[in-house]
Amino acid sequence: MPHTYETDGAAIYRQSFATIRAEADLRRFTPDEEPVVVRMIHAAGMVGLEAHIRFTPGMAHIARTALQNGAPVLCDARMVSGGITRARLPVGNAVICTLDDPAVPRLAQSMRNTRSAAALELWRSHLDGAIVAIGNAPTALFHLLNMLEDRNCPRPAAIIGCPVGFVGAAEAKAALMADPPTPALTVEGRLGGSAITVAAVNALASRSE
């Protein structure tokens, strides 16, 4: 017998988001934050993720406004930059990932750091007013925080810092939220990843579900 299943993509989204809103505890999130959290839960397939999601006050509104004003999105990994839905970006915002730049391997050697961290050095000319989306590398988030300790370093509008992993991820995100240099969003602990980070960007880019 053939399997019977939902084939309407729009209906699948509607049912998915309705299920999340019925099952997740979203009470502490503001109206600006709630659709972002719903999409992050959807990307993870994990009701309960909301307990680990943290925003600094006003972050969602600030990030959404920055995107509407043309802010570029700076991504630590191709999985992040590739996942952003360009049609959702309000003004054709640039999506930038410098990880594959030919200068990065030698720069990483000279810095004695990972390529993910070294790639951020190539963000400097784009960083002012940008949306940062880090979903893969804790070393990238740590290096960004070190960069922003310099008062002369341009400031992004907001940071989505959700790297995943067992080494440094929880610590990098805790450092971000302990003394946020800009408005920030994170998922505490080891949880995170490119799909969750992309979901946050897409939700901030457009309220459409």
Rounded to the nearest angstrom, the gap between the alpha carbon of residue 181 and the centroid of all alpha carbons in its chain is: 16
The contacts of residue 82 (CB under 8 Å, 6+ apart) are: none
Write the CB contacts of 109 (distance below 8 Å, at least 6 apart in sequence). Answer: none
Residues 20, 47 contacting (CB under 8 angstroms): yes
Residue 141 tokens read as 């988030």
Run of H or E residues at 174: helix 169-178
The answer to whether the beta carbons of residues 116 and 101 sit under 8 Å apart is: no
Annotated active-site positions, please? 42
Rounded CA-CA distance 5/112 in Å is 52
Here the tokens at position 122 are 């190539």
Going by the DSSP 8-state scheme, the letter that residue 158 receives in this structure is: E
φ/ψ of residue 83, rounded to 5: -85, -15
Tell me the C-alpha distance between 75 and 133, whole Å.
5
